Structure 1
Amino acid sequence: MIPLGGCEEVGRNMTVFEYEGDIVILDMGVQFPEEDMPGIDYILPNTKYLEGREKNIKGVVFSHGHLDHIGAAPILLEKLGNPLVIGRDLTLAMIRHKQEDYKKGTANKLKTIRVNSIDHVIRLGKFTVKFFQVEHSIMDAVGVILETPAGTVVHPGDWTLDRDAHGKSTLDYTHLQKLKKPTVLMLESLGAIHEHRGPSYEDMYKNLEQILRNAPGRVIIGTFSSQIERIKWVIDAAQKLGKKIFLEGYSMKVNIDIAQKLGYIKVQKGVVEDIRKAGNYDDKKVVVVCTGAQGEERAVLSRIVNGDHRFIRLQKNDTIVFSSSVIPGNERTIQRLKDNMYRQCDNVIHGQLMDVHVSGHATREDILDVIDMIRPTYFIPVYANHYMLKEGRKLAMDNGFPDERIFVPDNGSVIEVSKKGARMLERKVPSHYVFVDGLGVTDSQHIVLRDRQVLSEDGMVVVIVTVHGKTGQLVQNPDIISRGFVYLKEYKGLIEELRQKVKGMVIKSDPKTWVDTNQIKNDIRDKVGQFLYTKTEKRPMVLPVVIEV
């Protein structure tokens, strides 16, 4: 068992299972960029370990349709020779659409197996794949069982436990105790730091209906585009209250269209309207459901709040609802978005004020209940930051699970299991970031990132020196261009001092000793950098340009 992603971050979920040469993969997700990754679109799992093993891949099983589990599929499936894809209807439909978006005309070439029901059994080489029911915040999510002669893996993907009025789980996993031993429970452990249970779906829907019914003007709901069940409920509530729904955000429109074609959502004619017609209706009739609840810069909610949306401008009596959780790492971005909302609108509602979101992830109590119901031989917390995995380990240990049968992996860790025992090897497989930047996919983008970080912090200074092509003599005074370093009009003295320093360097240098212009470039870069630091304590990127005439 080799997690290639998802064990040191939230996202990039992908795990390789290998037995006697046969390989089965679970999930191929993306991770969204952090604040110190300017220009990066998203991050992929590293598949270097699978190079040369493509023919051994018997299939890729997808647990559900969230981007942190399917987002990397179009790129990685192609890279790995288009292996067989297994999933439920909505998951497969979303993968097909992402594949078509990636390269037009390729979706029909996907080789797929549809999981017809929880009882479906699939043979993939020496693996037997089975499924079990899970609760999560998207339709068609499934837990996965991988059976081999050496042991059995139980992996619910992302999950939670829904509970009745008495606090009892509505799902029973005790039947999984009967699986062939040894059993390995790989459990998504985001909930290892959450003690208290959130609201029920019933509470959330009741609150959302109250907001829709009593709002003084338009209602704008920001949520994940994959929250299809929630969006379906908002559409149904709007139908009942005689309101109009305006879906905004490409991914949201696509996902709802997919769900409609599968028959998961039924919409009365005229209830869902084009956003361009929003101004034709009384404000109290307008409900906008949009993407961008994580504060993404160009997502719909951010554009509305920043005044960049073509058809929606915030008004004082609008009601804005954050119906999503905060993905770790996005806290500052979302706080800025909230501040801007509060400046423009009197009615902002989020989870700290009212139960308008239900998490699709577990709590500490849920983790203990699942371990107790399944009673695995080994426990491996996964799909979370490292500290969460360690909390999952501690939680299990404190409640009697033997420490020697718990493994906390990093990305790239190799865990071997047999009937004789289990161990985590000292060696690791490559798992460093693979960046997607526009049309480029590379694992060496950290060099470009470093340059972008320098530019974002201290800016750049361009020094242009024009010299005679034969004599090397300076033809004219050096030109100095600054971007993001200092405001030139306020630092005329510094710029002039820099100009004279560069001029002196070129005049004093002996052109006959130049191997090429690179020598003077390097001298300028080093000495200008030192000079600017002594004057400003900033380290801008220095770009010397030598023009020979």
Structure 2
Amino acid sequence: ICHSGDKMKNTDIPSFARWGEKGVLALMSDSTNVEVEGYTMSEQEVAKNLEKIISTAEGRAIVALFASNVFRIQQVIDIAWRTHRKVTFNGRSMEQITDVAMRLGYIQAPPGTIVDIKQIHKLRPDEVVIITTGSQGEAMSALARMASGVHKHINIRKGDTVILSSKYIPGNEKAISNIINRLYRRGAEVVYSKVAQIHTSGHAHQEELKMMIHLTRPKYFIPIHGEYRHLVVHARLAEKLGLARDHVIVAEDGQVITFDSENGGRIDGNVQTGRILVDGKGIGDVGRSVLKERRELSEDGLVVVILIIDEETGVVLYGPELVSKGFVFDSATGYLVDDAQCVILEIVEEYEAGLDSRVELIRKKLQRALKQYFSFAIKRRPLIVPIIIEV
């Protein structure tokens, strides 16, 4: 079984070809860019464009990219050396990955090229290249902190050139745009994929995906890594290249694929998949109801209703008292308390003393009624927590 990995840039083509000669039962192939025709742009073209930008930058060149893109990091180091600049790494994941990659020999730099971030202030701006995280606009990333002016070592200033050498991941467009705007406000020149060809996808395009199928000549084909539409398009592409429809398996997360001599390849059952939430020392014990409550707390606040009722007569002995958190009852909205108390007392009167499950019935109706009331009165739906005691 051959797995292409989620990125096929710089793939060891001869190895896949050798496996194809030996015989491949199934090829699991990345589908992310299956809708894009042709071939991916070469890394050499990206390097040429990056070198042009860095070599003409008046001040510091700050290159933001994925920390996992070791090949691109090496390209930037090579460019820095050729343009007589020093390199420093910024961002925890960037520092960790480059440290491991250098120890293993995947990143190489001439002596004296890499400097500590604390030393860059001793260099002229046009002698510095900063390779950093934050190309996707992550809120607490190194680049976001620079753009906000709260970075410990780097303050963006006029003359800096910031290069976002990565593709926008769907859903991050707004965050990236906000960072670009903040960088411009601080006087930096910003270069990104929409204005220059400074990134090429690591995910193979159609022609490279076809080549992978031709090289491995699999008996079965399994498209992976993409949205469902990508899997379907990739499956159709494999069929056009000669694979039988019943030998192309489109599976989703959690589905088990089984191969045997009698029935061949097929989807055979499911296993549980999905996100496991870690909450302090608890692992997997936070469910949807807890998440829903926390979301309500964060957005609309909390109202606690305290009520003491005589068990025999049903008369209210104390309250109703309303306590709010993240939900203010001020003088302008003082009527809310009075009206809410009236709603509570009307509900209490609906249920006679001695009725089975009276407290639970009152509690449930209070929650519904008060949510509806606050939503109608002030367009907010706080979490309602009734504390009802019978004595």
The verdict on a shared fold, with TM-score over 0.5 as the criterion, is yes
Alpha-carbon displacement from aligned partner over 1:346-369 (angstroms, at most 9, x marks no partner) = 511112221222322101111111
Q: Would you tell me which structure has more helix in proportion to its own residues?
A: 2
- Give yes or no for contact 2:251–2:267 (8 Å, CA) kept in 1: no
User: What letter corresponds to residue 322 of structure 2 in structure 1?
Assistant: D
Q: 1:295 to 1:156 in 2, by over 3 A?
A: same
SS at structure 1 position matched to 2:223: strand
Q: Aligned-pair distance for 1:311? A: 2.4
Q: Aligned-pair distance for 1:341? A: 3.1
User: What letter corresponds to residue 22 of structure 2 in structure 1?
Assistant: L
Q: 1:509 to 1:274 in 2, by over 3 A?
A: farther
Alpha-carbon displacement from aligned partner over 1:438-484 (angstroms, at most 9, x marks no partner) = 5543175333333334445x51331342548999744456234252x
| Coordinate RMSD, CA, aligned | 3.4
Residue of 174, 177, 187 corresponding to 2:20: 177
- Give yes or no for contact 1:514–1:520 (8 Å, CA) kept in 2: no
Unpaired segments ≥5 residues, structure 2: none
Distance in 2 (alpha carbons) for counterparts of 1:431 and 1:232: 36
The residue that corresponds to 1:462 in the other structure is: 303
Q: 1:414 to 1:470 in 2, by over 3 A?
A: closer
Distance in 2 (alpha carbons) for counterparts of 1:262 and 1:278: 26
Q: Aligned-pair distance for 1:510? A: 6.5
The residue that corresponds to 1:229 in the other structure is: 71
The reply on whether 1:283 has 2:131 as its aligned counterpart is no
SS at structure 2 position matched to 1:191: coil
Alignment of 1:377-392 (within 5 A): 377-392=219-234
- Give yes or no for contact 2:86–2:129 (8 Å, CA) kept in 1: yes
Distance in 1 (alpha carbons) for counterparts of 2:376 and 2:268: 46
SS at structure 1 position matched to 2:197: coil
* Number of residue equivalences: 389
Distance in 2 (alpha carbons) for counterparts of 1:426 and 1:418: 11
Alignment of 1:529-540 (within 5 A): 529-536=371-378, 538-540=380-382
The residue that corresponds to 2:202 in the other structure is: 360
Q: 1:495 to 1:193 in 2, by over 3 A?
A: farther
- Give yes or no for contact 2:89–2:130 (8 Å, CA) kept in 1: yes
Distance in 2 (alpha carbons) for counterparts of 1:342 and 1:487: 42
Residue of 140, 152, 155 corresponding to 2:3: 155
The residue that corresponds to 1:452 in the other structure is: 294
User: What letter corresponds to residue 21 of structure 2 in structure 1?
Assistant: K
Alpha-carbon displacement from aligned partner over 1:46-95 (angstroms, at most 9, x marks no partner) = xxxxxxxxxxxxxxxxxxxxxxxxxxxxxxxxxxxxxxxxxxxxxxxxxx
Residue of 343, 350, 364 corresponding to 2:192: 350
The residue that corresponds to 2:212 in the other structure is: 370
Distance in 2 (alpha carbons) for counterparts of 1:196 and 1:489: 66
User: What letter corresponds to residue 182 of structure 2 in structure 1?
Assistant: N
The reply on whether 1:313 has 2:155 as its aligned counterpart is yes
Distance in 2 (alpha carbons) for counterparts of 1:487 and 1:347: 48
Q: 1:178 to 1:273 in 2, by over 3 A?
A: closer
Q: Aligned-pair distance for 1:389? A: 0.6
Fraction of identical pairs, as percent: 29
Q: 1:444 to 1:423 in 2, by over 3 A?
A: farther
User: What letter corresponds to residue 222 of structure 2 in structure 1?
Assistant: I
Distance in 2 (alpha carbons) for counterparts of 1:425 and 1:267: 48
Unpaired segments ≥5 residues, structure 1: 1-152, 164-168
Distance in 2 (alpha carbons) for counterparts of 1:340 and 1:364: 37
User: What letter corresponds to residue 461 of structure 1 in structure 2?
Assistant: L
Q: Rg bigger for which structure?
A: 2
Q: Aligned-pair distance for 1:217? A: 1.9
The residue that corresponds to 1:193 in the other structure is: 35
Alpha-carbon displacement from aligned partner over 1:461-513 (angstroms, at most 9, x marks no partner) = 31342548999744456234252x68856544434422443355568877776
Alpha-carbon displacement from aligned partner over 1:222-255 (angstroms, at most 9, x marks no partner) = 1111222322332333233332322111121111
Distance in 2 (alpha carbons) for counterparts of 1:227 and 1:468: 66
Residue of 435, 452, 458 corresponding to 2:277: 435
Alignment of 1:369-518 (within 5 A): 369-425=211-267, 427-437=269-279, 439-442=281-284, 445-456=287-298, 458-465=299-306, 467=308, 473-475=316-318, 478-481=321-324, 483=326, 491-502=333-344, 505=347
Alignment of 1:252-271 (within 5 A): 252-268=94-110, 270-271=112-113
Distance in 2 (alpha carbons) for counterparts of 1:342 and 1:189: 36
User: What letter corresponds to residue 527 of structure 1 in structure 2?
Assistant: A
- Give yes or no for contact 1:220–1:318 (8 Å, CA) kept in 2: yes
The residue that corresponds to 1:166 in the other structure is: none
Residue of 70, 86, 91 corresponding to 1:249: 91
Q: 1:521 to 1:277 in 2, by over 3 A?
A: farther
Alignment of 1:24-35 (within 5 A): none
Q: Aligned-pair distance for 1:259? A: 1.9
Alignment of 1:43-122 (within 5 A): none
User: What letter corresponds to residue 353 of structure 1 in structure 2?
Assistant: V
Residue of 46, 63, 71 corresponding to 1:204: 46
User: What letter corresponds to residue 178 of structure 1 in structure 2?
Assistant: E
